[in-house]
Amino acid sequence: MESAEEAVVLELKKQLEDEDLSPEQKLSLLNNGINKALNVAAVQTDSSVLTRVKSWLYHAGVLSHCVLALSLDPRRLKGNWPAAATLAQLTSSCCVGLDPGEHSKAFNRLFLPSVMDSLLSLASQLMRQAECLSLFRKVMDSVSWLLSGHTQLTTQVLSSVHYERIQMCDDVTVALLCVQLWIQTCTASRDFLSRLSDDSVLLLLNEAVGQLAVSSDSAVGRASVTLILLMANQLQLRLQPLLLSFRGLDNLLDKDWRGRGFDQDVDQLIALIQSDRGMMSPSQVSTERVRAACVIQAAWRSYQTRRRVKSLNRAVSSLQRRYRARRRQQQQQKEAQQWEEELKYQVCVRRQQARRAFHQKQRQLLQLLPPDQVQSYLQECERRAAVLIQSFWRGFRERRHYNTHRHTLRHTRTQQQAARTLQRAVRHFLQERRAAKAPPITPFWIGHKGLTDSRRAELKTQVEDYIAVHPSSHVSPEECERLHEEVQLLLLSELQRGEQRRREEQRMEALLAHTHTQLELLRDAPPLSVVTAPDAESFLSPSGPIAARARDAHNAMLQSSRLPWWRTLGEPVDMSTPTHLQDLEAEFGGLFVGGSAEVRME
């Protein structure tokens, strides 16, 4: 027998299956239904009832409806921002403390990221509304609550496009709420920071330091300093090497943030930074100096390399175009694979639900039947199952027979089509022969060709009468303006999505190029026993191999342009072999100045 909480959830699921619901009605129905289910579970003395209700909401698909409602177009949510903010709070509350059971993998990898993305998207939309600041704070509290329960979503939040939009807002209140979000999350869960990776901690620390460098508001500065101190208190030794990467932070705090009302916190943070710097050993100081020298050398070499490769715009453009096409193809394959996995998962779930419903219905029917009719009913079910199996087997056998004789059938059909084509051509030929032999037919009407003035006036009168009876339909200026505004909104959204895609592609291109350079350096690295100082210096910066590769490509292009026309025929010639270089020097009389593949930067 189902409980009252499960009955409420099933009733809500049944109501959501109605396709005629408008977005406003769906938001109201979700808010009222989830509130009712949670309130019924809250009055129970057993604390596990609330967990079961949240699990029922997830397995019944109610939370998926919540994600879809929060991801609607902003124009459809216009005027319903309070209901959307309330639904975001209820959704995040249901996702914390939920037991997905055997679907935990799909819940953590697919469902939770979609919930976080919809919450951040709603927050970025509310940020643009001047009158929705309280609703924006409510949605950010929902994000904080979801992060406190699922720490693995921190990297997604810090790298999200919607969160980057929120960070780029010039409003001081929005910046303060962003910092307070992390303070609230770290305070609510004492082990939140300890469960994060070093990369996530560095991203969070980078956001706090960025607010100190960009903002000039006292409240934002106090919150940023408090966040860094809270991280230092919880992480302790893990934060020390990360703070050393922010050079000049103590000078920034001393010059810009003293005398703002929180000097004690500023002094504590400055002392923490300077104590970490004082703990550096002489070897670490030497390493830092070597690193600084490497950075300066890398900057100078990159400047020289950029000057030398200015003439290679065409090759670089071709390389970028091919890489983007390959990256786009990989992204499409990845998305197609994700959709296929999601479809397979949904098909399995629906099959399981249908099988469960069928067995429940069969059990109910057996309970309703008299005892003396149960055996006959089971025999009838077996007979129908046997008929179904036989029909499937006969269909399979016929399809296999058709596949076996498909070639014969195709040949017969080809012969029939050829016969019809020949018959059609013969009939057309005979018809033309008969028409050529037949005498010409005298036209029945002989007289003046064209319209007379009276006939032209009569037709003009008929046209004017028809136009008067059937006026043309036209669009009003107001309708034209409305259509123009709608088209402009669609064009603006498309341009924004294109800009986001281009930014993501550029970022991925830079990461992939850096990764390829590092992999090639590691592949061609000499053994440690024979490493010299110039080799070690070349591994500290990838600009040397990049310059060598650019020079080799440029020399190869020059060499191919100097070849006579008869050398370009047949198989392509390898321009980097020493034998070919000697042939070219002998042919041009010692005037060849091309480089070799082993040239390195000095």
Going along 213-292, which residue ranges are E strands?
Answer: none
Domain boundaries, the chain: 4-306
The pLDDT, as a whole number, for residue 329 is: 92
Going along 197-323, which residue ranges are E strands?
Answer: none
Q: What is the pLDDT of residues 82-105, one digit of tens each?
A: 788 887 877 778 887 777 777 777
The pLDDT, as a whole number, for residue 79 is: 63
> What's 4-306's CATH class?
mainly alpha
Query: Where do runs of H (alpha helix) occur along 279-373?
Result: 282-308, 313-368
The pLDDT, as a whole number, for residue 589 is: 47
Determine the Cα–Cα distance for residues 53 and 90; give it in Å rounded to an integer.
13
Q: What is the pLDDT of residues 106-164, one digit of tens each?
A: 777 787 788 888 888 877 777 777 667 778 788 888 887 777 777 777 777 777 777 77
Determine the Cα–Cα distance for residues 403 and 390; give it in Å rounded to an integer.
20
* CB-neighbour burial class of residue 243 (10 A; exposed 0-12, middle 13-18, buried 19+): buried
For the ranges 47-61, 333-347, 425-439, the lowest mean pLDDT is seen at 47-61
* Residue 67 · residue 114 · CB < 8 Å: yes
- pLDDT of 456 > 80? The answer is yes
The pLDDT, as a whole number, for residue 334 is: 92
273 residue type, one letter: I
At 258, list the tokens: 């003293």
* CB-neighbour burial class of residue 144 (10 A; exposed 0-12, middle 13-18, buried 19+): buried
The pLDDT, as a whole number, for residue 588 is: 46
Query: Which range among 113-117, 399-403, 460-464, 507-511 has the greatest average pLDDT?
Result: 460-464
The pLDDT, as a whole number, for residue 499 is: 87
For the ranges 174-183, 259-268, 575-584, 585-594, the lowest mean pLDDT is seen at 585-594
Determine the distance from the C-alpha atom of residue 221 to the mean position of all C-alpha atoms in its chain, rounded to a whole number. Answer: 33
Which among 184, 178, 187, 234 is positioned nearest to 206, based on CA atoms? 178
CA distances for 462 relative to 161, 451, 468, 562, angstroms:
65, 15, 10, 78
Q: What share of the chain is helix, strand, coil (3-state, %, to 5)?
A: 80, 0, 20
For the ranges 46-60, 148-162, 342-356, 577-591, the lowest mean pLDDT is seen at 577-591
Determine the Cα–Cα distance for residues 286 and 441; give it in Å rounded to an integer.
110
What spatial distance separates the first Cα and last Cα of the chain, rounded to whole Å?
Answer: 83
Q: What is the pLDDT of residues 294-304, one digit of tens each?
A: 888 888 888 78
373 residue type, one letter: Q
The pLDDT, as a whole number, for residue 417 is: 92
Which among 41, 141, 61, 144 is positioned nearest to 107, based on CA atoms? 61
Q: What is the mean pLDDT of the chain?
A: 77
More confident residue, 411 or 602: 411
Which among 202, 89, 200 is positioned nearest to 136, based on CA atoms? 89
Q: Model-level pTM?
A: 0.43
Query: Where do runs of H (alpha helix) occur along 17-127?
Result: 23-42, 48-59, 62-70, 74-77, 81-95, 104-106, 112-127
Query: Which range among 305-309, 348-352, 524-528 has the greatest average pLDDT?
Result: 348-352
* Residue 99 · residue 55 · CB < 8 Å: yes
* Residue 176 · residue 219 · CB < 8 Å: yes
Q: How many CB atoms lie within 10 A of CB 159?
A: 11
CA distances for 129 relative to 34, 81, 316, 359, angstroms:
27, 10, 43, 52
- pLDDT of 561 > 60? The answer is yes
For the ranges 159-168, 362-371, 536-545, the lowest mean pLDDT is seen at 536-545
- Residue 526: DSSP 8-state: P
**Angle formed by the axes of helices 81-95 and 48-59, nearest 10°:** 120
Q: How many helices (H) and strands (E) does the chain have?
A: 26, 0
The pLDDT, as a whole number, for residue 375 is: 85
400 residue type, one letter: R
H/E run at residue 111: none
For the ranges 241-255, 359-373, 412-426, 573-587, the lowest mean pLDDT is seen at 573-587
With tokens 């026993």, the residue in question is 529
- Residue 590: DSSP 8-state: S
Which value, to the nearest 10 degrees, does the dihedral of the CA atoms of residues 356, 357, 361, 366 take? Answer: 0
CA distances for 484 relative to 489, 490, 498, angstroms:
9, 10, 21
